[in-house]
């Protein structure tokens, strides 16, 4: 498992009964997590003295309770700074387990020994974008949600990367890639975090199990002649990491050679010393 072990401003303190107890900077949150199917004793006093808890509703959705949080605050990871705020559907704007991928991205860019042009698809609030830019790459950040791209720009500014070579694109990822192919634009590395389910700009339905393979075939069309790495991340329930590795081997390794790895991402849990699983990642590298 690839663990995000280098956080100072974030930690999973404990987990039990479908929830995780977390520290985000100086604030303590309780949020639901479907992976937490165990019901161990909640001994830590912070389980009763949190700053906010997201409680799911029996009718769907949920809401923040006992919310003593500011409208927004910041957490830092290395040189990167993220603006955090409680959102609907339990989210905060950062997926801390992705730090394991951010470290990998920066290592690969450093090893390349040449300027890299990176494409980040379904790029959300820009964690991978900022990691790549901070390591010296040029980045194209693509997300269909205008608000998420604006948030990513705020994170770039907070991280001192407002002048970094980042193209900010609000667009459907597939349509954008199709245009890049027609324009002849190529990328040395690709990062993607496609959703399990979604709707396109014209109402077309995206379902990962059906659409990821043809989408990956499409995206491979913008790889340069000498690509450095390719990352696919997924939070789709039941999708094994080895599936992502198989896709990368089938589409990328078959053409460029190289090496593919796949595993779960995880977050260390302070009170138990165990690791909370947090999704699947496949990584391809040229060497």
Question: Quick one: 45 and 136 in the same domain?
Answer: no
Backbone angles phi, psi at 99, to 5 degrees: -60, -30
Question: Quick one: 229 and 105 in the same domain?
Answer: yes
d(CA 8, CA 286): 32
State residue 143's pLDDT score: 96
Question: Quick one: 81 and 102 in the same domain?
Answer: no
Question: What's the gap between Cα 12 and its chain centre?
Answer: 17
Question: Quick one: 261 and 141 in the same domain?
Answer: yes
> By residue range, what is the domain housing residue 147?
96-285
Lowest mean pLDDT among 194-198, 214-218, 257-261: 194-198
State residue 250's pLDDT score: 97
Question: Quick one: 140 and 276 in the same domain?
Answer: yes
State residue 22's pLDDT score: 98
pTM above 0.75? yes
**Which of 69, 90, 111 lies at the terminal end of a domain, its last residue?**
90
**Which of 90, 111, 135 lies at the terminal end of a domain, its last residue?**
90
Question: Quick one: 130 and 270 in the same domain?
Answer: yes
Evaluate if residue 59 carries a pLDDT over 80.
no
State residue 201's pLDDT score: 65
Taking residues 237-266, report their average pLDDT.
97
Question: Quick one: 139 and 74 in the same domain?
Answer: no
Average pLDDT, the chain: 95
State residue 225's pLDDT score: 97
Question: Quick one: 142 and 269 in the same domain?
Answer: yes
Other CB atoms within 10 Å distance of the CB of residue 171: 14
pLDDT band at 247 (very low <50, low <70, confident <90, very high): very high
Upper half-sphere CA count for residue 73 (Cβ side, 13 Å) = 13
**Which of 29, 58, 90 lies at the terminal end of a domain, its last residue?**
90
State residue 89's pLDDT score: 84
CATH number of the domain to which 72 belongs: 2.60.40.1180
Evaluate if residue 202 carries a pLDDT over 80.
no
Kindly report, residue by residue over 158-175, the tens digit of the pLDDT.
Answer: 999 999 999 999 999 999
Spatial neighbors of 211 by CB under 8 A, at least 6 apart, are none
Taking residues 176-200, report their average pLDDT.
94
Tell me the three-class secondary structure of 156-210, residue by residue: HHHCCCCCCCEEEEECCHHHHHHHHHHHCCCECEEEECCCCEEECCCCCEEEHHH
Question: Quick one: 123 and 259 in the same domain?
Answer: yes
Q: How many domains does the chain have?
A: 2
State residue 236's pLDDT score: 94
| Residue 128 tokens, joined | 């991978």
Taking residues 271-285, report their average pLDDT.
97
Question: Quick one: 111 and 198 in the same domain?
Answer: yes
CATH number of the domain to which 187 belongs: 3.40.50.150
Spatial neighbors of 92 by CB under 8 A, at least 6 apart, are 24, 29, 84, 85, 86
Question: Quick one: 167 and 263 in the same domain?
Answer: yes
Question: Quick one: 114 and 58 in the same domain?
Answer: no
Whose tokens are 């997926």? That residue is 95
Question: What percentage of the chain's residues is helix, strand, coil (to nearest 5)?
Answer: 30, 35, 35
Spatial neighbors of 142 by CB under 8 A, at least 6 apart, are 119, 120, 121, 122, 123, 169, 171, 173, 176
Q: What percent of the chain lies above the pLDDT cut of 70?
A: 99
């Amino acid at each position: 498992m690839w663990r995000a072990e280098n956080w100072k401003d974030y930690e999973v303190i404990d987990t039990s009964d479908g929830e995780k107890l977390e520290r985000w900077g100086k604030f303590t949150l309780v949020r639901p997590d479907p992976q937490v199917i165990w019901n161990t004793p909640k001994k830590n006093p912070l389980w009763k003295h949190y700053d906010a808890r997201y409680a799911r509703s029996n009718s769907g959705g949920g809401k923040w309770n006992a919310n003593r949080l500011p409208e927004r605050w910041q957490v830092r990871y290395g040189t990167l700074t993220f603006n955090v705020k409680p959102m609907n559907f339990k989210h905060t704007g950062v997926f801390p387990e992705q730090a394991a991928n951010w470290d990998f991205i920066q290592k690969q860019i450093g090893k390349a020994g040449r300027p890299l042009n990176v494409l980040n698809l379904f790029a959300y609030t820009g964690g991978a974008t900022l990691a790549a830019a901070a390591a010296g790459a040029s980045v194209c950040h693509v997300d269909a949600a205008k608000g998420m791209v604006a948030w990513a720009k705020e994170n770039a500014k907070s991280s001192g990367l407002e002048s970094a070579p980042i193209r900010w694109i609000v667009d459907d990822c597939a349509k954008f890639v199709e245009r890049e192919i027609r324009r002849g634009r190529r990328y040395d590395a690709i990062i993607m975090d496609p959703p399990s389910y979604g709707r396109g700009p014209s109402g077309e339905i995206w379902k990962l199990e059906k659409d990821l393979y043809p989408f990956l075939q499409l995206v491979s069309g913008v790889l340069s002649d000498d690509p450095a790495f390719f990352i696919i991340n997924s939070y789709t329930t039941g999708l094994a990491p080895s599936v992502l590795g198989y896709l990368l081997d089938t589409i990328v390794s078959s053409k460029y050679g190289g090496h593919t790895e796949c595993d779960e991402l995880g977050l260390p849990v302070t009170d138990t010393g165990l690791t909370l699983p947090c999704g699947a990642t496949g990584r391809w590298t040229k060497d």
